[in-house]
Amino acid sequence: MSLSFEPIALSQQADYQAFFEACPQAASDYSFANLWSWAEVYDLEWAFSDELVWIRQNRPEKAFWAPVGDWHRADWAALKERLFPGGQDFVRVPEVLAGIWAEALGEESVAAGEDRDQWDYLYDAGELRELRGNRFHKKKNLVNQFKKKNRYGYAEMDSEMADRAMALQDDWCTWRICESSEQLEAENRAIMKTLSAWGQLEGLFGACLFVDDLIVGYTVGEMFTADTLLIHFEKACPQHKGAYQAVNQLFLAHQPQERVRWVNREQDSGDEGLRKAKLSYNPVAFLKKYRVRIN
């Protein structure tokens, strides 16, 4: 029996969410919003089979992502024999699943290697709200400078704000010359797809930062788990010093503290500048992911 793959459909997000909520470990890649917004970039497809959702990318190379569902209930030995008798490569495999596979199939059948570029960055939400201490001194100064120098405003994202955020995104891509970078161009496509469908993706919310009624920053996220906020996109105008730090801090300051304890800011995809920026916010942990070959 082979898997029957179909394009990732907006109409199936509720069906998918039930499988995702059963996952023992939630990695950012597997948010429905991420799968749907990046589907064209990676030519993603999925197949609902054996109480799991199987995900396959066709670009830049063919590979399976981790299946989504209750990993503890699956009969991995039987699935391997039936679906992948010749072996299979998987990417973006969360650490917990890599361990389950090694135990269920035997370490000699599972070759796993850390994929540092895909690790999720995890932060203490309270630290990012308050920016206390020497570790956050530069960030706090930039936020304070922005607030003192500008007549700023903050508004929650709605359809009108999403349109304005898309205009800022256009400008941002001009500043950063997105067409010269495959990675930036791909991200821009995913952002525009998300913002243009605002209100259709369940659980997604965001905010915009203004200076004199001109939008200078925006952010988009979702409650990923009961106590973790996942940040999908965050952009700001480089001409306004401290705007990035301000939109980051203000967004968290507007979330209920008793609900948002942790922040997942996704991966750096191997980009040195992005890695430096994410490390500068002092992550408290990483959600590790692996490339896995099941022999």
How does pLDDT run across 114-152, given as a tens digit for each residue? 999 999 999 999 999 999 999 999 999 999 999 999 999
Q: How many CB atoms lie within 10 A of CB 229?
A: 23
Q: How many CB atoms lie within 10 A of CB 85?
A: 8
Tokens 């995913």 correspond to 190
Q: How many CB atoms lie within 10 A of CB 165?
A: 27
State the chain's mean pLDDT as an integer.
97
Burial (0-12, 13-18, 19+ Cβ within 10 Å), 31: buried
Residues 291 and 89 sit within 8 Å (Cβ to Cβ)? yes
Residues 6+ apart with CB under 8 A from 10: 36, 197, 200, 201
Burial (0-12, 13-18, 19+ Cβ within 10 Å), 157: buried
Q: In what order do the strands lie in the sheet with 285-287?
A: 152-156, 204-211, 214-223, 228-236, 262-264, 120-124, 285-287
Burial (0-12, 13-18, 19+ Cβ within 10 Å), 290: buried
| Paired strand residues for 231 | 221
Tokens 């965050």 correspond to 234
Q: Which DSSP helix (H) or strand (E) runs through 184? A: helix 182-196
Q: According to the model, what pLDDT value does residue 56 have?
A: 98
Residues 232 and 221 sit within 8 Å (Cβ to Cβ)? yes
Residue 107: pLDDT above 60? yes
Q: According to the model, what pLDDT value does residue 1 have?
A: 53
Percent of the chain with pLDDT over 90: 99
Average pLDDT value for residue range 54-67 = 96
Domains of the chain, start order: 6-119 (3.40.630.30), 120-266 (3.40.630.30)
Residues 46 and 54 sit within 8 Å (Cβ to Cβ)? yes
Give 149-185 pLDDT, tens digit per residue: 999 999 999 999 999 999 999 999 999 999 999 999 9
Give 214-271 pLDDT, tens digit per residue: 999 999 999 999 999 999 999 999 999 999 999 999 999 999 999 999 999 999 999 9
Exposure on the CB side of residue 179, measured as CA atoms within 13 A: 3
Q: According to the model, what pLDDT value does residue 2 have?
A: 86
Scanning 7-64, the segments in alpha helix (DSSP H) are 13-21, 32-37, 39-42
Q: Which DSSP helix (H) or strand (E) runs through 195? A: helix 182-196
Give 187-229 pLDDT, tens digit per residue: 999 999 999 999 999 999 999 999 999 999 999 999 999 999 9
Give 12-48 pLDDT, tens digit per residue: 999 999 999 999 999 999 999 999 999 999 999 999 9
The tokens describing 3, both together, are 């898997």
